[in-house]
Chain A
Amino acid sequence: MRQRIIAALGIAGLAATGLVACGDDSGSGSGSSGGGEKVTIGIKYDQPGIGLKEGAKYTGMDVDVATYVAKELGYDEKNITFKEAPSAQRETLLANGQVKMIFASYSITDARKEKVSFAGPYLTAGQDLLVKADSDISGPDGLNGKRLCSVTGSTSAQKVKDKFAKTVQLQEYDTYSKCVEALGAGAIDALTTDNTILAGYASQEANKGKFKVVGQTFSTERYGVGLKKGDTATCTKVNDALKKMVDSGEWQKAFDKNLGASGLKLDPATNPPKTFDTCA
């Protein structure tokens, strides 16, 4: 028995060193690429209109803003490497230096500021609902007794349940596309997350005319550029680049191209952004 325990511990130890070695590899591998001419930027791969990977092509508002900002920072377009930044990994990717910047519908919050620095905001979105085109749901208050969909781990659905409709039933999936599928099949009544993401799904080729964004936002999400904690130098440069993008009209062009077709109405008081947070 004793021998067996020792053997088991030994194997566990081996497994652990394997994992550690793995972490080291990825850290140093991409760390070197961040220093020179090349830059790695974190985006979302699964949000149409915001950050989407189709084959080898990257499209969306986040991608276009990221490309513009990177150019202003002196990185040529062909030297940009996009890397997927899933919500749960964003802080770690920045802390390890695996990505230099993150443009991934990344809302600026106080809890996140503990771990990362934010430049921006470059877009102000708000939580909203996506419903079928013929639905009579006009806002979060009308959701009582209805079925609502969101993504596991997101705060969006919980907010609706806590603040507006107590008796709403929550369906959670691992991706928004499954929610869109369920909404199309009529198994759920509404999908909730930021209006920008919803507009992206509503204007996808396959969904045109089937859904509408309700247009009653009930939160403010200020999308910022995630940077390594304390990287004020880059932060200032990013803010200058964003300002230039807005002033030159390139921001509006990118918005029209990616989200304009959806008829999305952003709050004109905050979009396009005129003031940026001070870098700290």
Chain B
Amino acid sequence: MDVISEFFSEYDGLQAFRTTIYLTLLSAVFALLIGTVVAVMRVSPVRVLQVIGTAYVNIVRNTPLTLVIVFCNLGLFLQLGVALANKDSNTFINDNNFRLAVLGLSVYHASFVAEAIRSGVNTVPLGQAEAARAIGLPFLKTLRYVVLPQAFRGAIAPLGNVLIALTKNSTVASVIGVTEASAVMKVMIENRPDVLFIVFGIFALGFVILTLPVGVLFTSMSKRLAVKR
């Protein structure tokens, strides 16, 4: 079983999983921000914003993630020259790839976050928004004080699903050279074809350890925090 000690010492597998976690958490934060804005656009009374929001969700959600990530590198960086790190730094390639991957993952998952939040908005009875309007709150204040707080609490379970999907989808970042868990797995399989299944098992277990608690946490939160009606 020396392959397990190799995982820790020679290949620094823990560092790889740390990169996976950073990718996931950073992308989750940005996806939540972008997704909330898109969801608000979709439920807003302004027709133009609705169209833009709907177009964003439908275009991004139906584009394969690999394409989105590869576009961030080959399109944004190579062709258009958009660099997200200091070009003279001696860690430029790693920093730039990591940030491009975060960008791609955020933009992609924002469409799913937006749909999750919109489903949360749909759980809020129409009377709530009408009451808010009746006491003179404008659209944004109605959202902020009345609708969104309830919507987020109703959307916890689907948001948890998006987070779990995001954790696993972060492996796609390896196509542009981010050394997260699946990239290190490829290196280990290349060097140790004799213990293929153990290597695969280690990484599968790693992902179970990352995602299972998230699922349990979000399920219990969705039960405790849901607005009882």
Contact = CB atoms under 8 A, between A and B. Distances in A.
Interface of A: 87-88, 90-92, 111-112, 114-115, 145, 147, 152-155, 158, 167, 169-174, 178, 181-182, 185, 187
Contacts of A169: 90-94
Contacts of A91: 193, 196
Contacts of A182: 74, 78
B90 A173 contact: no
Q: Name the residue in A147, A169, A172 with the highest tally of chain B Cβ atoms < 10 Å from its Cβ.
A: A172
Given A88-B186, A152-B186, A171-B93, A115 B194 contact: yes
Contact of A181 (B78, B183, B192, B193): B78
Contact of B193 (A112, A147, A170): A112
A20 B8 CA distance: 30
A153 B78 contact: no
Contacts of A167: 90
Give 6 nearest A-B pairs by CB, closest first: A153-B186, A172-B177, A174-B175, A185-B78, A91-B193, A153-B190
Interface in B43-94: 70, 74, 77-79, 90-94
B139 to A, nearest CB: 40
Nearest to A184: B78
Contact of B191 (A155, A173, A178, A187): A155
A88 B190 contact: yes
A187 B193 contact: no
A92 B196 contact: yes
B189 interface: yes
A173 B173 CA distance: 10
Contacts of B137: none
B88 to A, nearest CB: 11
A114 B194 contact: yes
A53 B9 CA distance: 39
A142 to B, nearest CB: 17
B176 interface: yes
Contact of A178 (B74, B93, B190): B74
A173 B176 contact: yes
14 contacts: A88-B193, A114-B194, A115-B194, A145-B90, A152-B183, A152-B187, A153-B190, A167-B90, A170-B177, A171-B177, A173-B175, A173-B177, A174-B174, A181-B78
Give the dominant DSSP class at A's interface: mixed
Given A152-B186, A169-B91, A171-B93, A111 B194 contact: yes
Given A170-B93, A181-B74, A155 B190 contact: yes
Interface in B76-121: 77-79, 90-94, 97
Given A92-B196, A147-B93, A87 B190 contact: yes
Contacts of A185: 78-79
Contacts of A87: 190
B187 A153 contact: yes
A125 to B, nearest CB: 17
B77 A187 contact: yes
A182 to B, nearest CB: 6
Nearest to B182: A152
Contact of A152 (B90, B92, B177): B177
B192 A111 contact: yes
Given A152-B187, A172-B177, A111 B91 contact: no
A169 B173 CA distance: 18
Contacts of A172: 174, 177, 179, 183
A111 B196 CA distance: 12
Best-surrounded residue of B91, B179, B187 (most CB of chain A within 10 A): B187
Contacts of A112: 193
Contacts of B193: 88, 90-91, 111-112, 115
B92 to A, nearest CB: 7
A116 to B, nearest CB: 9
Nearest to B89: A169
Contacts of B175: 152, 173-174
Nearest to B193: A91
Interface string B194-211: 101000000000000000
B66 to A, nearest CB: 9
A151 B179 CA distance: 12
A167 B91 CA distance: 10
Contacts of B97: 171
Residue of A92, A167, A173, A182 with most partner-chain B CB within 10 A: A173
B97 to A, nearest CB: 8
A7 B35 CA distance: 32
A91 B175 CA distance: 23
Contacts of A147: 93
Contacts of B92: 169
